[in-house]
Amino acid sequence: MTQQTRVPLPGSERQAVPDAQPAGDVHPDERLEVTVYLRSRESALNARLNALAAQPPAARAYLSRESYAQQYVADAADVARVEAFARAHGLAVVNTNRAARRIVVSGTATQLSAAFGVELAAYHYPDGGSFRGRQGPIYVPSELADIVRGVFGLDNRPAARAHFRRAAEIEAAAPRISYSPVQIGKLYDFPTGVDGRGETVAIVELGGGYSDADLTTYFQRLGIPKPRVVAVSVDHASNSPSGPGGADGEVMLDIEVVGAVAPGATIVVYFAPNTDQGFIDAITTAVHDNVHNPSIVSISWGAPEVTWTQASIQVMDQAFQAAGVMGVTVYCAAGDNGAYDFPSGPGRQAGNHADFPASSPHAVGCGGTRITVSDGTIESEVVWNDPGDGATGGGFSTVFPRPSWQPAVQGQAKRGVPDAAGDASPLTGYAVRVDSHDTVIGGTSAVSPLWAGLTALVNQKLGKPVGFINPLLYGVPARSGAFVDITAGNNNGYTAGPGWDPCTGLGRPDGVKLAAALASPE
């Protein structure tokens, strides 16, 4: 295949990483695995989702994973063309999953560079981190340009950040108090008499791990049954606790919040590398997992939209569309750096930025609040913004248009985030156990699993999954009281006000009233 027969793959362009310095060539014989994603039947998926959006939960007919695999699999001819291309370049076909529309191929760095027309190089950060990177587009044969939607794994730069904040790291001398997830559930009036039994919550993790001993201790102290927790390896990653300074805090927070709210639910943790390939493969693995069959997905990792390739965004969003037609609800943390979304320091870009994947219209973006509690009830609740120590993400997408079910605000024609909120300030954070230590953690990372646990309760109460919940949330009448509107505070870019706003969305839930509103929509 000559260079002249190739064309740039739309949306594959990579920019240089700010402050990363070249560190030499990649070893030509280094063995790599790359995931190739193929085109989907997006128009058919959208039509089905639009039909579901107009129906109440009780009337919705979702596809089983088996039915989805029969109706929406990658075309066999498309698969054959891509596999033939791979073999022609000396690449091995490791795995083909037609339901997830992905083909994993492997080869040396030299073979893959030649096959996809890229130059791979090693880079390092001033702080010592390193990665394999590329710049510019990926090239594919012209006859594959309409078939291939993304090629991931050539570049393995870190893709996302965990959206959690440790209370111990806050320097401000501010009053602080912590709550167990069970206490937050009571404050938010989560349904009682159900425990999530029969539901499976998928959690996506891009690093870190959990300890069964810690989970046993934690749930014994809460006086509730320890949930069943299963680890699934994606792209050779695994449950690998790395110590209190790493991503273990994210992993344990997610599991402990879901498990405390819905101890009867099964929790399946999909561990993947922190790369765009790992993130996307973890999501498609969870969505199409016909062994564990998750009904809810919780994602507490993300990054500003502008840091993703368009191909990454498109493929991930299509996975969320597939989740919707199979009755799977997806929650994503909206970010912890306010409306800017970038942390302070190198690489920060000016202006306000929405966090992805929370900005996908097929996921529920979860923002953050700070609560004040008196005599066991919430006295006040405001936008989470601890000056200098984190604030809820929120704003408007530059990628996705405003969906029909979201109200137009501030003259915006783009998708607004977040959709909903919950307690996120580390100053009113969650008491959890990580690496044999009791600690307090906040951040919008806590809100995604909180909503996931609530949804497990609601699904059990309704007797069926709510699935693609976004249009249902916006369709809940204000008089139902399903949401408590948050009207005070800002996220350093936008100000809260009556109704939906780009700080806390529709507000935080009243669990019992939300379950009732979803069961009997008006």
If one counts every other C-beta atom within 10 angstroms of the C-beta of residue 264, the result is 18
Which contacts qualify for 25-28: CB closer than 8 Å, 24 or more apart?
25/120, 25/121, 25/122, 26/109, 26/120, 26/121, 26/122, 26/132, 27/109, 28/108, 28/109, 28/110
d(CA 37, CA 103): 7
| Catalytic residue ranges | 250, 254, 445
Whether the Cβ atoms of residue 336 and residue 165 lie closer than 8 Å to each other: yes
| CA distances in angstroms from 179 to 176, 232, 368, 400, listed in the order given | 10, 30, 15, 36
Q: Is the sign of the CA dihedral 339, 340, 342, 343 positive or negative?
A: negative
Q: Give tens-digit pLDDT for 292-347.
A: 999 999 999 999 999 999 999 999 999 999 999 999 999 999 999 999 999 977 67
Residue 449 tokens, joined: 């699993």
Per-residue pLDDT tens for 152-204? 999 999 999 999 999 888 876 677 899 999 999 999 999 999 999 999 999 99
97-152 pLDDT per residue, tens: 999 999 999 999 999 999 999 999 999 987 778 999 999 999 999 999 999 999 99
Annotated domain spans of the chain: 3-39+74-152, 161-472
Identify the CATH number of the domain defined by range 161-472: 3.40.50.200
The answer on pLDDT for 237 being more than 60 is yes
